Amino acid sequence: MLKQIVAVTAINLKSIPRRFWLSLSTVVAVALVVMVLLSFLAMSAGFRRTLASSGAADVAIVLRAGARAELNSVIARDQVRLLEDAPGVARDAQGKPLASAELYLVVDGIKKTTGTKANLPLRGIGESGAAIRKGIRLTEGRMFAPGSNEVVVGKSLLREFQGFELGRTVKFGTALWTVVGVFEADGSVFESEIWADLPVVQSLFNRPNTFQILRARLSGPDGLAAMKAFNDGDPRLKLDVKSEQDYFSEQSSQTSDLIQKLGWPLAIAMAFGAMAGALNTMYSSVASRSVEIATLRAIGFGGFPAFVGTLVESLLLAGIGGVIGAVATWLIFDGFSASTLGASFTQVVFSFRLTPALIGQGVALALIVGLIGGLLPAIRAARMPIVQGLQG
């Protein structure tokens, strides 16, 4: 039986060049399905990685109770002062709390690729704002001077949006700002932001006594629990306190889940088309080899080898299509830079990320298409009457 299976499979595979264009159409259809699926999955993985790398377990985030994003959060100045003295907040060598109350606003930017307007985040930070975050390094220029209309921009934002080159002047609201520096943040979401001096932003945007978020470096592993207990026990606070890591994990899951919910249905819909192509190809294969199949059956070959040989041919064509689709997606999209709306309705710049696990999902889908597309033709080949086949 094994020798028969090997012999029939070899005959099937050697006959593929006789149906070259039909076989090629199946390969291309499967490759396109895999490319569509992997491009969406790579987008989702890249977005999730950008936000996940932004969060630190030793930094606490404080928002208004019930607020899911900075844009709809408000914290009063008196609450900030109470939280800066809360247990669990680390202090520097001078005894000052390592905390940064911040204001988060939306300003306009122009995309380099399309020339269209997009929402960009302008963040007013205090003197500890950059120090609290991990991996912040100036790559060009300097930090903004306190009390001045100066901004520093993230490297990713500079790459995707025009007008933010070092030394350029930009207009936010009614005021002009000068770009004095460019920073990087290990590819995190902070590289998609514009930073300025907090008191200046509050003054020019008429937000004198309010903030939207407080970041605080924790003093140790128990710092978050101590800070939460302090917040829950003071009726003047009653805010939401969580780790920065948990906050960005929640933010990333919302958008990345949406991307996957768009990608999978589209890929599945295309997969039905690829399955139809595979069915057509394999039925054609069986029809063109009907005399061969009947002759083999007449000299003692069973129906099962014909079944396996036809199915293997279908799986091979689909597998080749899957590999081609995966390689093409990796060459075109892996590392590709793009931007999309984040949870605060501002642009987040990220890079597509294609991992081996995602490639495995794409190839697995291709093989499923090949299996389903080849199953019925394989059954037909196994059950073909000898007389009917010899007449074909």
**95, 48: one domain:** no
Q: 85 with 183, same domain? A: yes
- Provide the residue type at 314 as one letter: S
Query: Rounded mean pLDDT of the chain?
Result: 85
φ, ψ for residue 279, nearest 5 deg: -60, -45
- Do 94 and 187 reside in the same domain of the chain? yes
Q: Is 387 a residue whose pLDDT tops 70?
A: no
- The answer to whether position 59 is within a domain reads no
Query: For residue 251, is pLDDT > 60?
Result: yes
* pLDDT tens column, 205-231: 998 888 999 999 999 889 999 999 999
Token pair listed for 22: 């039909």
Distance between CA 374 and CA 308 in Å, rounded? 10
Is residue 62 in some structural domain? no
Q: Give the end of a domain, one of 238, 268, 295.
A: 238
Q: According to the model, what pLDDT value does residue 344 have? A: 57
User: Which of 240, 244, 226, 241 has its CA nearest to residue 133?
Assistant: 244
Nearby residues of 316 by Cβ (< 8 Å), 6 or more positions away: 13, 370
Q: Is the pLDDT of residue 37 over 70?
A: yes
Check whether residue 231 and residue 102 sit in a common domain.
Answer: yes
Same domain, 145 and 234: yes
Q: Please state, in angstroms and as integers, the Cα–Cα distance from residue 196 to each residue in 50, 150, 248, 260, 277, following that order.
A: 22, 6, 22, 35, 57
302-356: pLDDT as tens digits: 778 878 888 888 888 889 999 999 999 999 988 887 776 665 556 677 788 888 9
Same structural domain, 315 and 273: yes
Q: Are 151 and 170 in contact (CB under 8 A)?
A: yes
Q: What is the pLDDT of residues 254-301, one digit of tens each?
A: 666 767 777 778 777 877 877 787 777 777 777 766 777 777 777 777
SS (H, E, C) 222-266: CHHHHHHHHHHHCCCCCCEEEEHHHHHHHHHHHHHHHHHHHHHHH
Do 157 and 82 have their domain in common?
yes
Looking at residue 256, its pLDDT comes to 66
**Tell me, what's the pLDDT at 174?**
85
Task: Give the pLDDT confidence score for residue 289 in this predicted structure.
Answer: 66
Question: Where do we find the tokens 């500079």?
Answer: 158
User: Do 153 and 261 share a domain, yes or no?
Assistant: no
- Assigned domain for 57 exists: no
- Per the domain annotation, does 64 fall within a domain? no
The pLDDT tens digits for 147-178 are 999 999 999 999 999 999 999 999 998 899 99
Could you tell me the residue range of the domain that residue 273 belongs to?
Answer: 2-52+251-391
Contacts of 191 (CB under 8 A, 6+ apart): 154, 155, 156, 157, 183, 184, 185, 349
**DSSP assignment of 56-113:** -TTEEEEE-TT-SSGGG--EEHHHHHHHHTSTTB-B-TTS-B-EEEEEEEEEEEEETT
Q: How many domains does the chain have?
A: 2
Say whether both 192 and 273 belong to one domain. no
Residue 392 pLDDT? 55
Mean pLDDT of 348-371: 87
For residue 294, the model assigns a pLDDT of 73
* Shared domain check, 189 and 286: no
In sequence order, the 6+-apart residues with CB closer than 8 A to the CB of 83 are 62, 89, 99, 214, 216, 227, 231, 237, 239
- Say what the pTM is: 0.72
79-104 pLDDT tens trace? 999 999 999 999 988 888 999 999 99
Residue 61 inside a domain? The answer is no
- Examine the domain organization and report whether 169 and 274 are in the same domain: no
Q: Which long-range contacts (CB under 8 A, 24 or more apart) does 93-96 make?
A: 96/128
| CA–CA gap between residue 99 and residue 120 (Å, rounded) | 24
